[in-house]
Amino acid sequence: MKVTEHLEKATRPLISFEIIPPLRGGNIRQLLTLIDDLVKHNPPFIDITSHAAEVIYEETPQGIERRVKRKRPGTLGVCALIQNKYDIDAVPHVLCEGFSRQETEDFLIELRYLGIENVLAIRGDKTYKKTLQHGRTPNRHASDLVEQIHDMNQGKYLEDLLDADPSSFCVGVSGYPEKHFEAPNLDIDIRYVKQKVDAGADYIVTQMFFDNQHYFHFVDACRQQGVDVPIIPGLKILTKSRQLHSIPSVFHCEIPTPLADAVLHAESNAETLQVGVEWAAQQTQELLDKGVPAVHFYIMQDSKAINALLPRLKL
């Protein structure tokens, strides 16, 4: 079922999760344990992140060598596992960066063969400058990627194919309540969001935020600019003190002073987790009380925090 169909048919707010594939050569058992735990909460869909190759510098007998590796391959396999073993809709992330449009089309065709109907189209991080083979082209922006997927939904492939069947992907895109760090201001950033919706996006999932006022303002600003698709808030439960530095650095979002102070005064990892769960519980309940259609949690690899949080919510 498509994400938009889940939203339309829901009789209560939905709770969904986002996880990350194992490291290259890693063991799948840890991921299976995580999914088994998340399944208990009856998520209608689970997002699986995708990762382009990146530059790695390794010391060898010949000296320092530059290599290009994908540290977390496996998005396709994890999607097939979730969809077929657990009967939960998988939402793979599809990237612009690190992939040609031709590779993207092949990936989408494989997803379609697996019966996967949902994708999240994002630009991705600029991990390295990929050299494309002659005749191959990239999607520069997420709106370009959405347009390619929309074209496939109309039966338009990169080459003229006789009697090509159209795909039927439900396309999600990202939104940034505190604006994308490259955008000059939120107003212009929302123009880019609207470009993605105009290109064919069906719903929006936000970047993590820790102050709900950012989300409410973002939704109001989107509606004022004519963005009328569902906007799902994305939340992260703060679980470690080092995240006070890593989250703002990587995700460019603000951690409110009361939350940061509570974490700084925590005397143990367990107390830090308790602080993060308490903040997320209040934040999530306020969103639910305001009528959000769903809440999306960035789980990544550990379900301990979400297991502590969900029983506290009035769903």
pLDDT tens by residue, 106-117:
999 999 999 999
Antiparallel, parallel or unpaired: β 54-60 and 63-69? antiparallel
pLDDT above 70 as % of the chain: 91
Q: Domain of 178: which CATH number?
A: 3.20.20.220
Average pLDDT over residues 67-87: 84
Nearest residue to 72 via CA among 91, 108, 98: 98
Nearest residue to 287 via CA among 19, 15, 20: 15
Domain that holds residue 124: 3-312
Nearest residue to 2 via CA among 141, 153, 187: 153
Which segment of 67-81, 101-115, 144-158, 212-226 scores lowest on mean pLDDT? 67-81
User: Is the model's pLDDT at 127 over the cut of 70?
Assistant: no
Distances (CA, A) of 300 to 174, 236, 280, 286, 304: 17, 10, 16, 24, 11
pLDDT at 217: 98
User: Is the model's pLDDT at 256 over the cut of 70?
Assistant: yes
CB atoms within 10 A of CB 207: 21
pLDDT at 72: 73
pLDDT tens by residue, 283-311:
999 999 999 999 999 998 999 999 999 99
Domains contained in the chain, number: 1
Grade residue 64 by pLDDT with cuts at 50, 70 and 90.
Answer: low
Grade residue 281 by pLDDT with cuts at 50, 70 and 90.
Answer: very high
Distant-in-sequence, close-in-space partners of 135: CB < 8 Å, separation ≥ 6: none
User: Is the model's pLDDT at 86 over the cut of 60?
Assistant: yes
Grade residue 259 by pLDDT with cuts at 50, 70 and 90.
Answer: very high
- Asked if 254 and 210 count as a contact pair (C-beta separation under 8 A), the reply is yes
pLDDT at 12: 93
User: Is the model's pLDDT at 128 over the cut of 70?
Assistant: no
pLDDT at 97: 86
pLDDT at 55: 55
User: Is the model's pLDDT at 66 over the cut of 80?
Assistant: no
Distances (CA, A) of 84 to 78, 116, 120, 128, 168: 10, 10, 19, 34, 19
Q: Bigger pLDDT: 32 or 125?
A: 32
Grade residue 98 by pLDDT with cuts at 50, 70 and 90.
Answer: confident
pLDDT at 25: 79
The β-bridge partners of 65 are 58
